[in-house]
Chain A
Amino acid sequence: MQKITNSIGAHFPPEVSERKIAVSHDIRESITINKPREEVYSFWRDFTNLPLFMVDLAHVEILSETNSIWTMQLPLEQAIEWEVQVIADRKNELITWKSVENAKVQQRGTVLFRTAPGGRGTIVSFSLHDSTAETRMAELAFRLIGEDLRTLLLKSLHRLKAHLETGELPTTYGQSSGRDPKENNFYS
């Protein structure tokens, strides 16, 4: 195996240099929510709440203390389901989950909960480790909202924050505009 050196002469270990570009990436986004840590943790730990804010999820069915089935609904296509298992759970601190073996979508996610400095709310850091060869999750994300996985994560966090702080999600879906094909009479 060849040693790869960068411009200042540092050597990268072969595992890093051999890594194929699109095999795995960790993506992490954070947001600060003006609610106590226990409240945010409890809300997330009840996985039936996840579809309220996770952009990719339509439904979660709880099977047991650790396992659940997650369903994603792509527009005009069949729903995609995969089974997820919680593999680490530290109350008010961290939850890690992973798709079970042979699940259609291979994914590992971790969410960390920390109190913001100065007691200014809770910092939620959400990371996703997507390790199938075709980065299936990223592809699904793109098909769903036309944006990359990082944006999907951040959007989910924005929605979590809006839901916990205001009780609703900001929306303009259904609002009026001059684009409605039925009512396009121009007065001037």
Chain B
Amino acid sequence: MKAICWQGKHHVSVQKVPDPYILNPRDAIVQVTTSGISGSDLHLYDGYISHMKKGDILGHEAMGEVIDIGPQVQKVRVGDRVVIPFNIACGQCLYCKNQEYAFCDNTNPNATLADKMFGHTSAGLFGYSHTHGGYAGGQAEFLRVPLVDVNSIVIPSGLADEKVLFLSDILPTGYMAVENGQVRPGDTVAIWGAGPVGQMALRAAYLFGAERVIVIDHFKNRLKMAARGGAHIIHYEEMASLLDELSFLTGGRGPDVCIDAVGLEAHSQSLFASIDRARAAVGFPSDHLEVLRQAIQACKKGGIVSIPGIYSGAYDRVPMGTAFSKGLTLRMGPTHTQKYMPTLLKKIVKGEIDPSTFITHRMKLDEGVEAYKLFSENKEECMKVILTIH
């Protein structure tokens, strides 16, 4: 089969690889019809994530038709049309039973490596580094899905792939970010980052009853899309001080909930950011923590900073003093995708959300190299790329 494989920093290849087959009794093989490229794939492309090997198959936003199931699969059947969540959960450990699927204990074959890096292992992920299991990903013609009864959702007929593909990652991520923020009716929510997660969080915030949502970014087209979703948009390069503007907009209080939907590739104009760039230029790993600092600085007293992420590594110069004085809550973490998929599918079926509006580019698997390049270099034009495969 054909697949997109990681080959190094800013280097992916489209190549012929062996077809996958059933390895464990609860596996299934899915013929992938559509696959997405995620902002977090760009972290792999940009070389930020450790423990990648040349030849790793990328992709964690996949959907398609089940063509083969292992002998102990009970719910999913051959022929089912499914969306696959980006994390792999077992459904049996205490975390899974608590619906904290991203923390699953049992799906990382490299659990001891993750134990050493993070203290405790988390769930295996598709197409995302050997720390998280090194599972082959879904930017390919076929995908092996472990424990498929837990790690799939069946899609009713009548819904195009585009409408449901994002149940795999960004829809639940944006939604969980808002849920983590405990957004209540009447709240003001500030979202840093107008990428797909930020766009979804914006719409989810209104679903949760927010009165006003502010979206901050520096890509004009992304801000326009946020404005279409009802946000008050801020282009942070067009003002002297973002923090002053947020204070003005919230009557000096600060937003009730601040969502950092940018994560580790933040860049900005501040003094700290300039230090980051200087450090990067001389080979020191730079912090990219500017968005989190701003969120902590801006958030109201007693407010919540919700971080869908992604962050990786260890950082210094986090304003803990500010966070402490204001009694902030920082809630963060990888998305418990399986928990939210059923609820969000219902909302899509009812027409309450249409995530296909975020798609800017529809390309083919063969165009994988161009797709990554485009997404990485042209965020002004490119919001979300999907690859149609079968």
Contact = CB atoms under 8 A, between A and B. Distances in A.
User: What class of interface size applies to chain B in its complex with A?
Assistant: 35 or more
A165 B93 contact: yes
Nearest to B135: A172
Contacts of A154: 111-112, 115
Contacts of B121: 158
A177 B134 CA distance: 10
Contacts of A121: 94
B55 A162 contact: no
B215 interface: no
Contacts of B90: 162, 165-166
Contacts of A173: 23, 109
A152 to B, nearest CB: 9
A175 B23 CA distance: 8
Interface in A93-150: 120-121, 147
Nearest to A183: B16
Contact of B19 (A151, A176, A184): A176
Interface in B32-81: 53-57, 72
Nearest to A165: B92
Contacts of A162: 90, 105-106
Contacts of A187: 2, 13-16, 366
A75 interface: no
B112 A151 contact: yes
Contacts of A68: none
A122 to B, nearest CB: 11
A20 interface: no
B92 A176 contact: no
A179 B53 contact: yes
A161 interface: yes
B140 interface: yes
Contacts of A147: 112
B311 interface: no
Interface of B is mostly: loop
A176 B107 contact: no
B144 A176 contact: yes
A171 B112 contact: no
Contact of A178 (B13, B88, B91, B124): B13
Contacts of A168: 24-26, 147
Contacts of B93: 34, 161, 165-166
A182 B134 CA distance: 21
A175 B135 contact: yes
B341 interface: no
B202 interface: no
Given A171-B23, A175-B136, A178-B7, 17 more contacts: A121-B94, A154-B111, A162-B90, A166-B90, A166-B106, A166-B147, A167-B25, A167-B26, A168-B26, A170-B88, A172-B23, A176-B3, A176-B19, A177-B17, A177-B56, A183-B17, A187-B13
Interface of A: 32, 34, 120-121, 147, 151, 154-155, 158, 161-162, 165-180, 182-188
List the 9 closest pairs (A to B, CB-CB), nearest first. Answer: A178-B5, A178-B55, A179-B55, A185-B16, A165-B92, A162-B106, A187-B14, A158-B111, A170-B109
